[in-house]
Chain A
């Protein structure tokens, strides 16, 4: 029994691929551009084009399709919720009505787009974490933010916090899984009784989890201090980031493609 399939939670999946090989700075910028582009998508043809891009990216990154699609699972509920709000609350020509509820064709279309947009957003964003080591990701962010450090922006600290948080998500899911199993073995049940009873059943999971989290945080702090960690100033890298030709190419081509898509969207609408 497995309570969480954290494989799908944007965890880094090692592979030899052109996408994995790109510089994290390039990937972060490119993903930002892509996300902006998706926000602006309105036309069915453009959505289809994004779908094709997604398929292409999956192939290029040599990731299993199932794994990539799986990363949308956590937002599926949110997407459905957003979509249903649009279904019920969009004004227009009623397609049919139930009492005070009007379902309009505009609403349906808007709902579909909104849901698709959200799912595409997550799917594209997940490539960043699926193909980039958390360490590289933080390095990339730190370097991108470092110009602002002059104005007192804590670029290094933020990047370090992010790395640690990202690094510990799978660990915490594993721990939660283990504690839930241990309590199951002592007769706890998480799927019986009413809502209150189910919520209460999580107390024996949450308390040990908090204990472990604080313990880990303390251990980590001690370990970092013991290795003389004292913030970003003067730190060098074991694997310095290297900007290659492919990165420049990606940074020119992808925004160009996004621009064309957005432009096409505008002129089709």
Chain B
């Protein structure tokens, strides 16, 4: 059970003066119960890739397969694919429309045909998982703070219990505490067997929390592998516009000055190595 992406390519507005290639020859596999992070600078094709994973955009080059079902423009499998792959859009707080937070979270499971008696439990569970206080459920989503709106939007996707969850820059604009909270939530969902795709600018979270990292540069794969492999690769071939985490950058600098320092993003590891070598 996995999402398989093979030689995926995409061009916006083909055949017009506004033609833009946004993806080129991307391949990877995401198993359930694993976490893949997709990083890259602005305009590198992350959102385009994310929207392919549940058939919001159909592949024009290459293929996307979800649990053996091919993603196509139209077809009997499309709804099933969308139900299995939850997608939290970039700025998801802009999709809110319902009168109460409760209704907002209940929207997706109702659409997928979840029986009415199950919905209440689903809504409460999703709200709790997303870190929303139950007192918020009766409020209007428009009266919440930006961060709370984001949580509502995430809960409104979690409530349909997808097998895979794709999040497009969910941490943008959140404080570091909420960011940590969100990462913990994703780790928990992953332990529960969900496949996670986290699209992010933030290499720190990508490297420290996920099982695999894909770095995009201009729609092409710049690096793909375990966090350690990807960091080593990025140190050799820096991707313009993508900053290494501070710890990794410092460690690299130390090595360039002839000190012994590990290839790492973890400040404890760097600290221990430095203390050891200075003794």
Contact = CB atoms under 8 A, between A and B. Distances in A.
Contact of B94 (A187, A189, A208): A208
Nearest to A8: B16
Interface of B: 13, 15-18, 51, 54, 56-58, 73, 79, 82-83, 86-87, 89, 92, 94-98, 107-112, 142, 156-157, 160
9 contacts: A1-B56, A7-B16, A66-B15, A184-B82, A185-B82, A185-B86, A187-B111, A204-B98, A208-B94
B17 A187 contact: no
A204 B97 contact: yes
Interface in A28-75: 64, 66-67
A179 B96 CA distance: 9
B97 A1 contact: no
A176 to B, nearest CB: 11
Interface in A198-257: 203-205, 207-208, 211-212
Given A64-B16, A67-B17, A189-B79, 12 more contacts: A1-B57, A13-B17, A178-B89, A179-B94, A181-B89, A182-B92, A182-B94, A184-B82, A185-B82, A186-B95, A187-B83, A203-B97
A18 interface: no
Contacts of A179: 94-95
A189 B89 contact: no
B17 A184 contact: no
Contacts of A7: 13, 16, 18
A185 B54 contact: yes
A208 B68 CA distance: 35
A92 interface: no
A179 B97 CA distance: 10
A187 B108 contact: yes
B17 A15 contact: yes
Give the interface residue-count category, chain A: 20 to 34
Which 9 residue pairs across A and B have the least CB separation, nearest first? A187-B111, A207-B97, A182-B95, A185-B87, A186-B108, A182-B89, A204-B97, A187-B112, A181-B56
B142 A14 contact: no
A173 interface: no
Interface of A: 1, 7, 13-15, 64, 66-67, 175, 178-179, 181-189, 203-205, 207-208, 211-212
A6 to B, nearest CB: 10
A64 B97 contact: no
Contact of B58 (A1, A67, A186): A1
A178 B54 CA distance: 15
Contact of B157 (A15, A186, A204): A186
A258 to B, nearest CB: 29
Given A1-B57, A1-B58, A185-B86, A211 B94 contact: yes
A20 B209 CA distance: 52
Contact of B111 (A1, A66, A189): A189
Nearest to A192: B79
A208 B156 CA distance: 15
A183 B95 contact: yes
A185 B94 contact: no
Nearest to A63: B17
Given A1-B73, A67-B16, A208-B95, A185 B89 contact: yes
A208 B160 CA distance: 21
A175 B96 CA distance: 13
B142 A186 contact: no
